Amino acid sequence: MTALNKFIVAIDSYYLYAMRSTRRHFETIEGDPYASPFLYRFLEYYKDDIARYQPEFSLEPGKGWLAELILRGLNPVSLVIYRPAEGRAGSDEVEIGLDYATPGYRDLKSAEYYFGRAAERQVTFVAKASVPAHRRYLERIGFAPAGADASGTYRLTVDGSAR
């Protein structure tokens, strides 16, 4: 029995090491969230979970929104819907309408990938959070409250020179 337990421990140790040392391949697919049947289906499928974390998000088409579906090993794991900040086309400020990770991939790795990529240039992201869990998420990835008025607005500036 002891030999079997040692064998199981060895196998488990090997797989834990392999999981930790394997670098996950990330990539993004960009598109119009309301024109792409796949992105719209993704939103429909996860709408109840999205509503738990970002109830202010609407599935109704809005003007100027773009989407980046983040793939991890070709699995769709996260969706970011964004647009240039209202009335500031051409600026480096981006309004995030939705930053959603699927339940099995909430380890912040897709957020690190997404916001890390943006660090190639200076960008300020603006996000709203009305739910405590979403506020905690934003703070964990580096967002800070945008003011003392507790409006639920958070900002994150990424700068390529700082990385």
Residues 145-154 pLDDT 10s: 987 666 789 9
Instruction: Give residue 74's pLDDT band: very low, low, confident or very high (50, 70, 90).
Output: confident
| Measured distance CA(59)–CA(82) in Å, rounded | 13
Asked if 71 and 27 count as a contact pair (C-beta separation under 8 A), the reply is: yes
**pLDDT at position 78 over 50:** yes
Other CB atoms within a 10 A radius of the CB of residue 70 amount to 24
Q: Which CATH class is domain 25-162?
A: alpha beta
Do the Cβ atoms of 112 and 71 come closer than 8 Å? no
With a threshold of 0.95, does the pTM exceed it? no
128 close to 154: Cβ distance less than 8 angstroms:
yes
Structure tokens at 131: 């739910």
Mean predicted lDDT score pLDDT of the chain: 83
pLDDT digits (tens, 9 = 90+) for 6-44: 777 777 777 666 656 555 689 999 988 888 899 989 999
Percent of the chain with pLDDT over 90: 42
- Residue 161 scores a pLDDT above 60: no
Q: pLDDT (tens digit, 9 = 90+) per residue, 52-73? A: 999 999 877 678 889 999 999 8
Q: Where are the chain's structural domains? A: 25-162
